[in-house]
């Protein structure tokens, strides 16, 4: 057999496999009687308990509020230790002024690898003053920071949900200082 015939046969088999997979997918999504209602409820409880209004693990009152320049405000809503050895900090970046504000480029930090990946909160750090260590935002294998990216301007009153992921301090460390360039520093509690 020639190499050309073998390559053509492989392409045919791959095309046949893909076509069969698509056909099964379409059949699985096929119509039925759309008027049928589910017999059971998917809710976990039918009581009148309170429903969470914020993301899981976040409270209504922020852990900290950091003021930045030109009316920017960062509210830290949670700092949670994950089982994998990470701390994820969630919050809201808000423009409290009455005009549009460009988020300063300094919030991404000045490391070449992070600057190369565009706007982010890559300049954020957690400082453990007892352990005398500073924890920087984690990066993926391509050097992109594990944080909210791709923002530049916030209109008056506009808010943006943000997150940053850090390596976790030792288990006994529950209070750290959160720092972000151009914003005030604030102590936060790590839960979990």
pLDDT tens track for 140-188: 998 899 999 988 899 999 999 999 999 999 988 999 999 999 999 999 9
The DSSP annotation for 52-71 comes to P-SSTT--SS-SEEEE-GGG
Instruction: Answer whether residue 62 shows pLDDT above 70.
Output: yes
Report residue 13's pLDDT band, with 50, 70 and 90 as the boundaries: low
Instruction: Answer whether residue 66 shows pLDDT above 80.
Output: yes
Instruction: Answer whether residue 63 shows pLDDT above 80.
Output: yes
Measured CA to CA in angstroms, residue 60 lies from 63, 78, 109, 162, 187 at distances of 9, 10, 29, 16, 18
Least confident of 5-19, 29-43, 129-143: 29-43
Cβ contact 103:148 at 8 Å? no
Residue 50, pLDDT score: 35
DSSP 3-state of 7: helix
CA distance 67 to 103: 13
Nearest to 162 by CA among 153, 152, 149: 149
Q: What is the pTM of this model?
A: 0.68
CA distance 37 to 77: 38
CA distance 88 to 114: 18
Question: What is the chain's length?
Answer: 192
Mean pLDDT computed over 75-92: 95
Residue 115, pLDDT score: 86
Nearest to 91 by CA among 136, 129, 54: 54
Handedness of CA 150, 115, 105, 179 (dihedral sign): positive
pLDDT in tens, 88-143: 999 999 999 999 999 999 999 988 888 888 899 999 999 999 999 999 999 999 88
CA distance 162 to 78: 11
**Planar angle of CA 186, 189, 190, nearest 5 degrees:** 125
Cβ contact 124:147 at 8 Å? yes
Residue 112, pLDDT score: 86
DSSP 3-state of 185: coil
DSSP 3-state of 113: helix
């Amino acid at each position: 057999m020639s190499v050309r015939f073998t390559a053509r046969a492989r392409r045919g088999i791959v095309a046949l496999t893909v076509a069969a997979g698509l056909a099964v997918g379409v059949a699985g999504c096929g119509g039925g009687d759309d008027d049928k209602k589910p017999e059971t409820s998917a809710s976990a409880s039918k009581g009148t308990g309170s429903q969470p209004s914020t993301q899981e693990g976040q409270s209504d009152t922020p852990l900290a509020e950091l003021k930045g320049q030109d009316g920017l405000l960062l509210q830290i809503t949670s700092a949670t230790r994950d089982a994998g050895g990470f701390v994820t900090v969630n919050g809201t970046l808000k423009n409290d002024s009455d005009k549009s504000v460009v988020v300063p480029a300094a919030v991404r930090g000045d490391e070449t690898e992070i600057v190369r990946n565009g706007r982010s909160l890559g300049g954020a750090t957690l400082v453990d003053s007892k352990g005398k260590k500073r924890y920087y935002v984690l990066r993926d294998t391509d050097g992109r920071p594990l944080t909210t990216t791709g923002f530049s301007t916030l209109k008056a009153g506009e808010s943006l949900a943000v997150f940053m992921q850090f390596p976790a301090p030792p288990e006994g460390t529950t209070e750290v200082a959160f720092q972000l360039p151009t914003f005030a520093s604030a102590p936060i509690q790590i839960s979990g």
